[in-house]
Structure 1
Amino acid sequence: MADAIDLANVNFDTTSFPALKNDLYLRTARGEETERAPVWCMRQAGRYLPEFRAIRVENKFFKVCRTPALATEVTLQPLRRYATLLDAAIIFCDILVIPQAMGLEVQLVPGKGPHFPEPLRTPDDLARLVDLKPGFSVDAELDYLYKALTNTRHALDGQVPLLGFVGAPWTLMAYMIEGGGSKTLALAKTWLFAHRSAAHELLARVADVAAQFLIGQVRSGAQALQVFESWAGELGPQDFTEFSLPYLALIAARVKAVFPDVPMTVFARGAHYALEQLATDTLYDVISLDWTIDPRAARRRVDTALASRTNGVPRSVVLQGNLDPTVLLGDEHVIRERTAEMCQAFGSSRHIANLGHGMMPSHDPERLRVFLEAVHQSSADLRQQK
């Protein structure tokens, strides 16, 4: 892998990617027995890294997302720092590029986070979205990420697989209506209960764009995909079943119809009640868990649901996660101990090690190194004991 990215030297050739040297993540995601659990971290390229903060001194956040060479550089930063400890790279981007592509302005406000100056507040505002207008093209609007993926595949030189991702429809809908973060999501939930038809229209339109976007990501070089339903836990079971699950399932089905062998992960944060539905009613290969659920219980529930299903061919589902990110604020002994406990709880197979959510700006990069080393050691020990 290159030591640095020449910002004027980008490679958009999708015809001859380097051979993959470490396929541990892909083999595990497909349910194969492996020598240890692969490990990567959500937000592994981000604000906790001083090299990322150096990039941001002269470049606004969305400029980094929209500039292929910069996105490649940031994606590779953790791979350089942690060398062989990471088993996957995830392209640097943001889930809110879909609302941007659909015609909404999104700003990143220091100290506040994402901000939509003109959010969707009533069903009439759907007319402002451009996805149904003549000439709209998902690929044209988001081509910058496709170029970043292709360039990054070449720059990785086969070191590890490259992951693409999108935000899920309910999460994106909530941002588009709330105009940013919210403690209650009251505005977005008003649509669910007062404008139900419009809510489903918006969710379906976002799902369509997301599915097309993921297909384009694979064509551009992504080797696996993750769908982030970050606000799943803000819905009760009944509302998740109506307003989230069908669209998560639709996205997976659309992508799998084109690329059946590309592993897909769903992260429905906080939706513990939906494990069985995610396992049996969707085509995701991997279910990512947050830190508030016991991996043993999750494995039992998923396996039981899969064993009892009668509406399709039985399949295996891999689990990903789920160390509490704040554990990385502790000392090295605590990190190693809690990581070993996590690996033991997931067992000796069908586990991709990760955090229960993403890296935090306050994390010490060296604490992540401790976590990665502990996963390597603990998961390998489990395999040997098997």
Structure 2
Amino acid sequence: MPHEYPSLNDFPPLKNDLLLRAARGEKTERAPVWIMRQAGRYLPEYREVSKSHEFFEICRTPDLATEITLQPIRRYTGLLDASIIFSDILVIPQAMGMEVLMNPGPSFPDPLNTPADVEKLHKVVDVEERLGYVYKAITQTRMALAGEVPLIGFCGAPWTLFLYMIEGGGSKTFQKVKTWIFKYPEESKALLLRIANVCVDFLVGQVKAGAQLLQVFDSNAGELSPHDFDHFSRPTLVHISTNVRKRLAAEKLPSVPLTLFAKGANYALASLAESAGYDTLGLDWLVDPAEARRLVKGKVALQGNMDPGVLYGGRDAIEGTVKRICAGFGVDGGSQGWIANLGHGIRPFVDPEDTMWFLQCVHKYSAQGSNA
């Protein structure tokens, strides 16, 4: 049954727009902060729900996805400046006709071994029919947030999704996907573009459903050399930003900020800032904040980039690192185009109280007039 999209006037007014302003490069009184994977396995309340519900069952059940999305907002009330819908990047391969299991990591029982296997994919993907449950969860969550913070929608980048679809899960050698791109480069590019077109449809639908910012996760960008990134990932990332913006304008939908997180591709920061078409670039922890600022030359906002492992190190380590990163981004006296975050998703077994301390430290050291 098609999702009934709400009128934008149906949503409660937004009370905290720090994230949206920072994502567009505006100066804010402090840095907005959120955490990749903030809704999930490090929280005891999430683990309680997951005892009786399988991972993709939660994703496909709007009531459960809404509950999980709201858990960190409730726990850290007043400290988080964004929510991100609870879902997974691998819903796109599922929509394209592939089976994906989570046990505990992602597993594809029938991966794409050769280009001939592409025939197993759906030739036409009705994203609304296959992923309408994500749209329902977004609409429900946006209503339930009551304007407290903006809601982020997302998708995986084509290269990262392509990698999973071929490797059949995580990999240490990337033998199968490297075989594809070097042995079958044109077939690889054709499949990457097919994935990109599904991403565009999915992201536009998320805005129609109520998402207020979109993030594209190229979590495996760092597995490509600069040359191969330019040939196999960058074109699809530009395709997504260009066509999402065109579609939003044509359908008279809000022009939401777009964020790209190309993990491990710090060599591409300057060129991505120049021409990829995103408002914000996410950073992993392997680049110095001041160097990232220098590379992008103020053309985009930045997001990141504390090593998630610091959250295992206790309060002194967290505070010292936040203070150093805030100084590196030059935010003393207010923030200009910086969204505080980790350099990748929060890890299991982090103490939620230490997560709270991280958020409190960002508030303290990025606040206008702070000389702490």
TM range, normalised to the smaller chain? over 0.9
Q: What is the distance in 2 between the residues matched to 1:116 and 1:331? A: 37
Deviations 1:211-270 (A, max 9, x none): 110000000000000000000000000000000001001101111113363101000000
Aligned to 2:106: 114
Seen in structure 2, the aligned counterparts of structure 1 residues 77 and 325 have a Cα distance that, compared at 3 Å, is same
Q: What is the distance in 2 between the residues matched to 1:220 and 1:188? A: 34
Structure 2 residue 284 is matched with structure 1 residue 290: yes
Aligned to 1:37: 31
**Match runs of 1:96-175 below 5 Å:** 96-110=90-104, 113-130=105-122, 132-133=123-124, 136-175=125-164
Q: Pick from 259, 266, 272: which aligns with 1:272?
A: 266
Structure 2 residue 205 is matched with structure 1 residue 216: yes
Q: CA deviation at 1:282?
A: 1.1
Does the 8 Å contact 2:5/2:208 carry over to 1? no
Find the residue that maps to 1:362 and give its secondary structure. Answer: coil
Aligned to 1:370: 357
Aligned to 1:179: 168
Deviations 1:122-163 (A, max 9, x none): 000000000x24xx4111111000000000000000000000
**Match runs of 1:1-386 below 5 Å:** 13-15=6-8, 16-110=10-104, 113-130=105-122, 132-133=123-124, 136-259=125-248, 261-303=255-297, 316-348=299-331, 349-381=336-368, 383-384=369-370
Q: What is the distance in 1 between the residues matched to 2:140 and 2:263? A: 31
Moved more, 98-107 or 347-356: 347-356
What TM-score, normalized to structure 2? 0.94
Q: What is the distance in 2 between the residues matched to 1:47 and 1:232? A: 24
What TM-score, normalized to structure 1? 0.91
Gaps of 5+ in 2: 250-254
Q: What is the distance in 2 between the residues matched to 1:144 and 1:331? A: 39
Find the residue that maps to 1:266 and give its secondary structure. Answer: strand
Does the 8 Å contact 2:307/2:342 carry over to 1? yes
Does the 8 Å contact 1:286/1:318 carry over to 2? yes
Q: What is the distance in 1 between the residues matched to 2:357 and 2:175? A: 40
Does the 8 Å contact 2:33/2:339 carry over to 1? yes
Q: What is the distance in 2 between the residues matched to 1:344 and 1:257? A: 37
Moved more, 136-145 or 256-265: 256-265
Aligned to 2:252: none
Q: CA deviation at 1:72?
A: 0.3
Does the 8 Å contact 1:14/1:221 carry over to 2? no
Q: CA deviation at 1:174?
A: 0.3
Q: CA deviation at 1:11?
A: 9.8
Does the 8 Å contact 1:37/1:351 carry over to 2? yes
Q: What is the distance in 2 between the residues matched to 1:42 and 1:201? A: 30
Partner amino acid for 2:170? G
Gaps of 5+ in 1: 1-9, 307-315
Seen in structure 2, the aligned counterparts of structure 1 residues 11 and 201 have a Cα distance that, compared at 3 Å, is closer
Find the residue that maps to 1:105 and give its secondary structure. Answer: coil
Deviations 1:268-317 (A, max 9, x none): 000011011211121100000000100111110110xx7xxxxxxxxx31
Q: What is the distance in 2 between the residues matched to 1:20 and 1:154? A: 11
Q: What is the distance in 2 between the residues matched to 1:141 and 1:108? A: 19
Q: CA deviation at 1:13?
A: 3.9
Does the 8 Å contact 2:364/2:370 carry over to 1? no
Does the 8 Å contact 2:142/2:151 carry over to 1? yes
User: What is the root-mean-square deviation of aligned Cα atoms in Å?
Assistant: 1.4
Does the 8 Å contact 1:328/1:368 carry over to 2? yes
Seen in structure 2, the aligned counterparts of structure 1 residues 14 and 68 have a Cα distance that, compared at 3 Å, is farther
Moved more, 343-352 or 321-330: 343-352
Seen in structure 2, the aligned counterparts of structure 1 residues 123 and 11 have a Cα distance that, compared at 3 Å, is closer
Matched positions, count: 359
Q: What is the distance in 1 between the residues matched to 2:180 and 2:4? A: 44
Does the 8 Å contact 1:253/1:283 carry over to 2? yes
